[in-house]
Structure 1
């Protein structure tokens, strides 16, 4: 079971490295595919449940698997942080672009006047 866990964490680390390489290269076309594959690996890890303790005879082997898992987990965490930075920067750029579009529309409406189909509000003086 520990060997399977280590293998899954290493698979996840390789997947994240591939995703990070594509994201750095500007290719976001497979984002959903990566997310789905990542979710399947995480689900498989969850399905493993806790690893039972082994007698001292198998302890070295178990420690080796745990070290492999820990190394892969650290790499996954580092990649996650880098990916979050890139996505946050993209989100900020989109937010700025939307703000500029909104300001442009406001200026356009200010100079253009109301559209013929816009509702008209009249104050009754009376």
Structure 2
């Protein structure tokens, strides 16, 4: 067997192994839901109208795929503490923004809903653009 052919075969095998490993990591990340984000979870029952306290809440790491904008993230905990609950909250459930009183809805920043590494921008549309297409 030729030495050059042997080295080429070994290098192709190593490259294939590396590419397979990268593909496997990407696939596992997609299946598990991606990186984890810490969200607030109700740990003790909270009655409707009762103020939400640190003792009533805990944190759970959830894959990014399962986190929605309505979930209260760990970094937003200060905006929720002391605010009355809109409904009865049972232990084990994620705390949503619609579960807390109206005071917290004024404190929510839109920039917090944009994922890290992403950019939000305004798209201006003309209301009469479709009318130009119809003759």
Q: TM-score range by the shorter chain?
A: 0.3 to 0.5
Q: Structure 1 length normalisation: TM-score?
A: 0.34
RCO (CA 8 Å, sep 6+): is it higher in 1 or 2?
Answer: 1
Q: Between Structure 1 and Structure 2, which shows a larger proportion of helix residues? A: 1
Q: Structure 2 length normalisation: TM-score?
A: 0.32
Q: Between Structure 1 and Structure 2, which shows a larger proportion of strand residues? A: 2
